[in-house]
Amino acid sequence: MSADRPAGAVPRGVGHDLRGASQLVAERGCMLGRPMHLLASVASTNDEAKRGAREGATHGTTWLAEQQTAGRGRQGRTWASAPGESLLFSVLARVTCPPSSLPPIALVAGLAVRDAVARAVPGAGVLTKWPNDVLLSGRKVAGVLVEAITAGARVEAVVVGIGINVHTRAFPVEIEGRATSLALASPSVPPDRATILADVLESLDHDLHVVVGRGLSLVRARLEAADALRGRHVRNDSGDEGIASGVDDDGRLLVTRADGVLVRWGAGEVHLVEQA
Ligand code: BTN
């Protein structure tokens, strides 16, 4: 493994459908994904990106790995995936914003992934699950981990880490009932990770600036159309329940309680409550 390999170089062990990723992203003309560090194996691409940020990496620099040995998920969970099966990458965005912009950034990152997955598997039901999971046919196909680099009370940069299950055909027994992949959804057409990556980066490049500059208003309609929870009975880890009713301007989940009061959930995990 070399996390210090020059951007653009393709190390051994990187799959064929990623080898042209750097060029494809450059052809799209967006700022994100340039330069791109393609790595065979690394502890966590988010950690690489945070290290890069400290060392002066520029806006858009992206770390993409075939394998993570210590991949991280939200809320201290691990993110495990077999080598070569997933799209695992982290983008450094040098945006200056208040911490309240972080949930909206995570929401549009999830939306970018949703749109890219939907394009790769036409006709499949691909939705976002607040705060930033992506579901394919009701099962998790991707997750987003946004981490901030702060200076005092301001955010100076964000690392957007994304993991998408692409070629995976079998999951560990603990998650097999909840997880899926593009390959399982579309067995006859092998998904191309470079194209999915370029689609995500292009969309995120646009929406990141929109959201940092103007908040969620301009993407609200797309968020609502993609919302797997809207109108569904949900419960959080504290046992609070209600009907999911969209998101507010700060990216919090709006929930209508049984007594009609609209409340806002700011963090944590949300579960669908099965109706009898
Ligand atoms: C979640 O659903 O809990 C978020 C998962 C985020 C995983 C990605 S994989 C690339 C990047 N590097 C990490 O260590 N985590 C994110």
77 DSSP β-pair partners: none
pTM of structure: 0.94
167 band by pLDDT with thresholds 50, 70 and 90:
very high
Residue 81 alpha carbon, nearest atom of ligand 1: 9
Helices (H), 29-141: 45-54, 102-120
**In Å, what is the CA distance from 187 to each residue of 15, 107, 121, 135, 176?**
18, 29, 10, 17, 17
72 CA distance to ligand 1 middle (Å): 5
Residue 76 contacts residue 90 (beta carbons within 8 Å)? no
Measuring from atom 9 of ligand 1, which residue has the nearest CA?
163
pLDDT of residue 190: 85
Instruction: Report strand pairing: 36-42 vs 62-68.
Output: parallel
Residue 74 alpha carbon, nearest atom of ligand 1: 3
Long-range contacts of 169-172 (CB under 8 A, 24+ apart): 172/80
Integer-rounded Cα radius of gyration of the chain: 18
222 CA distance to ligand 1 middle (Å): 23
Residue 231, classified by CB atoms within 10 Å of its CB into exposed (0-12), middle (13-18) or buried (19+), is exposed
Question: Is residue 144 predicted with pLDDT exceeding 50?
Answer: yes
- State how far the Cα of 46 lies from the Cα of 247, in Å rounded to an integer: 26
Instruction: Please choose, from the candidates 158, 142, 47, the residue with its C-alpha nearest in 3D space to the C-alpha of residue 102.
Output: 158
In sequence order, what E strands does 130-218 have? 133-136, 139-151, 154-165
- State how far the Cα of 24 lies from the Cα of 224, in Å rounded to an integer: 30
Percentage of the residues of the chain whose pLDDT score is greater than 90? 89
242 CA distance to ligand 1 middle (Å): 28
Residue 140 alpha carbon, nearest atom of ligand 1: 2
**Residue count of the chain:** 276
pLDDT tens per residue, range 78-124: 999 999 999 999 999 999 999 999 999 999 999 999 999 999 999 99
DSSP annotation of 50 reads H
pLDDT of residue 2: 43
